[in-house]
Amino acid sequence: MDLITRAPKGTADLVPEAAEKWRAMEEVLASEARLNGFGEIRTPVFEHTELFQRGMGDVTDVVEKQMYTFEDKAGRSVTLRPEGTAGAVRAMLENGLFNAGYPVKLYYNIPCYRYEKPQAGRMREFRTFGVEVFGAAEPAADAQIIAMALSAFRRLGLQDVGLQLNSIGCKDCRKDYHQALKEYFSARRDQLCATCLSRLDRNPMRILDCKSPDCQALAAGAPKITDYLCPDCQEHFAKVREYLAALGIEYTLDPGLVRGLDYYTRTVFEFPSQSLGFALGGGGRYDGLVEEMGGSPTPGLGFGLGLDRLMLALEAQKAEFPQPVRCELYIAAMGDEARVRALALVDILHKCGIPAGCDICGRGLKAQMKYAGKIGAKFSMVLGEDELSSGQAVLKDMSSGETGKAGIGESFVGDYLAFSTAYLDDEIRGGISIAQNT
């Protein structure tokens, strides 16, 4: 019985109160994306396994240890998506989105899946808000998407989000860097964890991203990629910083920042939360990924934000969220005919955009009124034989006890609006904080 009454480990339910907060947060992010000319894309929750192996690199922790991979009934290997970029590249190519001209600008809000130890801000099922830009090679594009993410943080009211910045170069300048890393770590191989020993010859840069304390201590003294950048990558990175300065964006240079996936090139960045102690998201360039996945050589870049972590940051700051929509008028009914009329009147209110409710559980009048109080109804109205006969009912303000008359025929909506406007407080109609920023 426990298995069917508990969510799987590493997953969580969003009950209505929590879902309201998430929706408000997501609307700010989507609004920022649309403001910057991005269109929404929705990709399948699972893809062919080869897509992630080829796109993300088989030396990464995600591919090696964390993917939910299984065979379907036809014996094909499929994987629940562990991130959004590879699927967005595949969809861009398959649907020919590049035919409308570059840049192609996409955003998504998707669930992703990784099998790792659940902890604060890290779930096995987690939601990612991401953006991808295809066809923009200029450093201005790097600065623009960084500015876009920081703008979204500000609109959400987050105060302590920083920016860490680095360049990890291109394939050409990484050759010498890989050799320098091999020599450095080979001389200290007895201090490496088993996973990093296997990475030493295949991709020594992955050692820099290891979470083992011993490997992290070694990585702190390793050669820095910024000392090995080719002239083109040096110029690109200098231009990115110039644009960021022009936008008034402060950052910290972090030569050890490499990100966790193999497709990144040149600019990489993360957005650390100083109060929570971990990054809320990050991204960078992946100029070789589209070609690697079968397309024409096409520059690309983007970022992903962990929505679970964003919500933790908002709650830690005690951010104010819009009040959930609550019932404005609850119509309590006595008798079958009154129940029919109550349902019809509620339907009319709904068509006018007014939250309203009536009994659908067969309760008595006392229980109906108790329920109206529980759901926070602002006003109530009772329908019975007398009200049906006279064509009028009494509207009541549930807080103040003030009452007024309303016809239950053609004048009903007008009578209700006249009464409710006289007594309605600002809290019902208006949102606060995040809602005002959408």
Question: Above 80 in pLDDT, residue 93?
Answer: yes
Write down the pLDDT at residue 426.
45
The yes-or-no verdict on residue 325 having pLDDT over 60 is yes
Q: What is the pTM of this model?
A: 0.85
**Cis, bond preceding 103 (omega within 30 deg of 0):** yes
Average pLDDT for residues 138-146, to the nearest whole number?
97
Q: Where are the domains of the chain?
A: 2-170+230-316, 329-434
How high is the pLDDT of residue 330?
Answer: 97
Beta carbons within 8 Å of 298's beta carbon, 6+ residues apart: 98, 102, 134, 135, 290, 291
How much of the chain exceeds pLDDT 90, in percent? 65
Lowest mean pLDDT among 124-133, 321-330, 376-385: 321-330
- Of the pLDDT bands very low, low, confident and very high (cuts 50, 70, 90), residue 166 is very high
pLDDT for 96 beyond 50? yes
Please check the confidence at residue 221 and state whether its pLDDT lies above 70.
yes
Mean pLDDT across 118-137: 92
Split at pLDDT 50, 70, 90, the class of 66 is: confident
pLDDT confidence of residue 261: 67
- Distance (Å, rounded) from C-alpha 351 to C-alpha 328? 14
Least confident of 4-13, 142-151, 262-271, 416-425: 416-425
Architecture of domain 2-170+230-316: 2-Layer Sandwich (3.30)
For the segment 235-246, the average pLDDT, to the nearest whole number, is 97
Per-residue pLDDT, averaged over 48-61, amounts to: 74
Residues 6 or more apart in contact with residue 388 via CB below 8 angstroms:
337, 338, 341, 408
Residues 79, 58 contacting (CB under 8 angstroms): no
d(CA 422, CA 320): 27
pLDDT value at 435 more than 80: no
Least confident of 60-64, 132-136, 339-343: 60-64
Total number of residues shown for the chain:
438
- The per-residue pLDDT for 187 is 86
Give the torsion sign (CA, 146, 151, 156, 160): positive
Dist. CA 154–CA 147, nearest whole Å: 10
Least confident of 163-177, 196-210, 218-232: 196-210
Give pLDDT, residue 438: 44
Q: Which CATH homologous superfamily contains domain 329-434?
A: Anticodon-binding domain (3.40.50.800)
Backbone angles phi, psi at 396, to 5 degrees: -130, 130
Average pLDDT of span 281-300: 94
